[in-house]
Amino acid sequence: MPIIDFPSVEDADENGLVAIGGDLHPQSLMLAYSRGIFPWPVGPEYPLAWFSPDPRGVIYSSELHLPKKLKKELRKSDFRVSFNQKFEEVINICANVHANSATGTWITQEILEGYIEFHRQGHAYSVEVMRGELLVGGLYGVCLGKYISGESMFHLESNASKVALITLMHNLKQNDVVFLDTQMVTGITSSLGAREIERKNFIQTIQNEIKRSSLDFSNFDPDITHLYSSPKI
């Protein structure tokens, strides 16, 4: 049964915990993201937890930063990018890769099933990075109107996840999207321009973005080589 309502994010604890329990029905996810809340399982022995941290991590589409070293490395790459072609593969690899990390994965079977259904209904997306016929990197997230989040990403080859994120950000800028919700700022997102903003400002922005016309990923440009190609002399 879908969640009917959430407590106010103003009542969240110091970690941003808003509520415990409920399910990942598409209507539950829709309600949560429209309120600036996302699910984040804290352990298999605990009920599902919902968070809205303050401050919130974002990358403004106008503030994407490409370090010189990364540009140099990308000039040697032969990656190919696509959108919404392999959502289930991307989210499953994200789960497997992070499960083998030191911190483990929060992408439980419940998360997998919930977001795959959300994708089928048109509210979640994926970015795939291929080298030849191999899926070597990618990310997935939620997209409601022109609000878009980055939930998780992976790389099996160096810089592949960064290519996914950079390609996404370039297209968000072209489509007048204010920012990508990264939820928190990590080392990778920070290197590309992520920063923290107050939760109240974040929620005000996404409530406007959700009302805008939906993004059409079929019109996204997968080729961003011009962002890091050598300057002409």
Percentage of residues in the chain with pLDDT exceeding 70? 96
In CATH, what number is assigned to the domain containing residue 179? 3.40.630.70
Give the angle subtended at the CA of 85 by the CAs of 82 and 87, to the nearest 5°. Answer: 110
Distances (CA, A) of 138 to 72, 89, 183, 189, 207: 21, 9, 18, 14, 27
Say what the pLDDT of residue 106 is.
84
Per-residue pLDDT at 82 exceeds 50: yes
Give the angle subtended at the CA of 161 by the CAs of 80 and 117, to the nearest 5°. Answer: 90
Same domain, 41 and 67: no
Q: What is the domain count for the chain?
A: 2
Same domain, 14 and 96: no
Confidence of residue 177 (pLDDT cuts 50, 70, 90): very high
- Residue labelled with tokens 């800028």: 173
Within 10 Å of residue 39's Cβ, how many Cβ atoms? 23
pTM: 0.94
Same domain, 41 and 144: no
Let me know if residue 124 belongs to a domain: yes
Same domain, 118 and 20: no
Same domain, 46 and 93: no
Say what the pLDDT of residue 172 is.
98
Say what the pLDDT of residue 100 is.
66
- The span from the CA of 206 to the CA of 155, in Å, is 28
Let me know if residue 233 belongs to a domain: no
Per-residue pLDDT at 34 exceeds 50: yes
Same domain, 44 and 81: no
Same domain, 16 and 130: no
Question: Which stretches within 23-159 are classed as H helix?
Answer: 26-34, 68-74, 87-99, 109-120
Let me know if residue 136 belongs to a domain: yes
Confidence of residue 87 (pLDDT cuts 50, 70, 90): very high
Same domain, 82 and 121: yes
Q: Which domain holds residue 37?
A: 9-51
Same domain, 21 and 109: no
Of 51, 66, 82, the one marking the end of a domain is 51
In CATH, what number is assigned to the domain containing residue 40? 3.30.70.3550
- Residue labelled with tokens 């990618």: 138
Per-residue pLDDT at 233 exceeds 60: no
Percentage of residues in the chain with pLDDT exceeding 90? 88
Distances (CA, A) of 130 to 73, 74, 110, 138: 16, 14, 27, 9
59 has which bridge partners?
Answer: 180
Same domain, 47 and 67: no
Let me know if residue 2 belongs to a domain: no
**Which amino acid, one-letter code, is at 88?**
E
Say what the pLDDT of residue 66 is.
92
* Residues 108, 41 contacting (CB under 8 angstroms): yes
Taking residues 38-42, what's their average pLDDT? 93
Per-residue pLDDT at 35 exceeds 50: yes
Confidence of residue 230 (pLDDT cuts 50, 70, 90): low
Same domain, 21 and 103: no
